[in-house]
Structure 1
Amino acid sequence: MQIRKNLLFAGLVAGLVGFSTTAAAGDYGYYPGDYGDSYDYARVTDVTPVYTDIQVREPRTRCWDEQVAYRQPGSPAGAVIGGLIGAAIGNKAGGHGHRGRHYYHHSRGASTVAGAAVGALLGNEISRASAPTQYAIEQRCQVVDEYTTRRELVGYDVRYRYNGRHYMTRTDRHPGDRIRVRVDVAPAF
């Protein structure tokens, strides 16, 4: 029983010594790592932000005022008068169509309708051409791409000193006044 107590006490002491050794190494900033590498902290001597310029496309709507000319539509009276004149001309032109003993009455009706339609169009255009022109201001808009340059932080150039030697690296975050470094320990022969 006494032997068990002694073994338990020795195991407890060994565990505490191992824990205190690890804790003491941690206080000094030296941490054993995998594959023979260890970690320590080096003093940062200079930190320079590194930026890059990127172009950003932004669609924008641009609007402006523009003067526009309007013509009044042709008067209905012009179309009616033109239609009557065209119908009369078509009727007159269609009345001379006969061959032998048969008369082509449908030719007179078709000519009258065609003449009326052409006359109405011409009458409408004539009355429209003589109508006064009016001007108005309208807003016109167009979507255009504008490009702006924006500076974007890409990292930090960090200069540090470890064991009397100067080093430089780039990090993605500001390291503060010290930076963690990996130390490769190898036996010297």
Structure 2
Amino acid sequence: MSIWKQLLLGALVAGLVGFSAWASADGYDYAAVTEVIPVYEEVQVRRPRTECWDEQIAYKRPRSAAGAVIGGLIGAAIGNKAGRHGHHHGRRYHHRGNRGAATVAGAAVGALVGNEVSRANAPTRYGTQQRCQMVDEYRTRRDLVGYDVRYRYNGREYMTRTDRHPGDRIRVRVDVSPAW
């Protein structure tokens, strides 16, 4: 090989080494990406929703208010009579102040009793009523959390996880230290 060819080859090698050193002089370089694998995480998501259904119910409704009216009249009469006459230590006495209150109380109690008797004797009817309740529904969702990236730099394989897709090359930090 001629001296000129050797010099030219030496200059070319020196230039490539110098260029490589210049490219990574700031401590960074680029490596070829060989594989990118998306990494997912499964997350359970709670979604409350309302669930409704129709339910058959039984109820008794009196045909009229006659039971309450008749019970009220009977109760008022009993209360009026009880308010006119009372007993005190075995003796009868006439007490005028409680007569009106006893009549009203008797009417109210009689109306309640009459209404309940009327309701108990009423025919059973059926209807439909909508019922609703809140229920939790769980769904599994896959969230992308990053990428496992394999890359090759200076003939060696490396792997890292990134938060975004790197493309066909990835920036790497180059650390040069003296060998002793």
Report SS of the residue matched to 1:105.
coil
> What is the alpha-carbon root mean square deviation over aligned residues?
3.0
One-letter code aligned to 2:143:
E
Contact 1:57 1:148 in 2 (8 A): yes
Report SS of the residue matched to 1:106.
coil
Point out the structure with the larger helix share: 1
Q: Residue 153 of structure 2 is aligned with which of 151, 162, 165?
A: 162
| Partner deviation per Cα, 1:114-144 (whole Å, 9 max, x = no partner) | 2222211111111111122221112211122
One-letter code aligned to 1:119:
G
Q: Is 1:32 paired with 2:25?
A: yes
Q: Residue 30 of structure 2 is aligned with which of 15, 34, 41?
A: 41
> TM-score, structure 1 length as denominator?
0.72
Report SS of the residue matched to 1:173.
coil
Return closer, same or farther for 1:119/1:164 CA change in 2, 3 Å cut-off.
same
1:98 and 1:170 map into 2 onto residues whose CA distance is 97
Contact 1:74 1:124 in 2 (8 A): no
Structure-to-structure mapping, 1:106-117, within 5 angstroms: 106-117=97-108
Return closer, same or farther for 1:121/1:188 CA change in 2, 3 Å cut-off.
closer
One-letter code aligned to 2:116:
E
One-letter code aligned to 2:135:
V
> TM-score, structure 2 length as denominator?
0.75
Structure 2 residue runs of 5 or longer lacking an equivalent are 1-18
Deviation at 1:31, TM superposition (A): 4.8
Count of paired positions = 162
1:96 and 1:138 map into 2 onto residues whose CA distance is 51
Q: Residue 72 of structure 2 is aligned with which of 79, 83, 98?
A: 83
2:3 maps to none
Structure 1 residue runs of 5 or longer lacking an equivalent are 1-24
Q: Is 1:136 paired with 2:103?
A: no
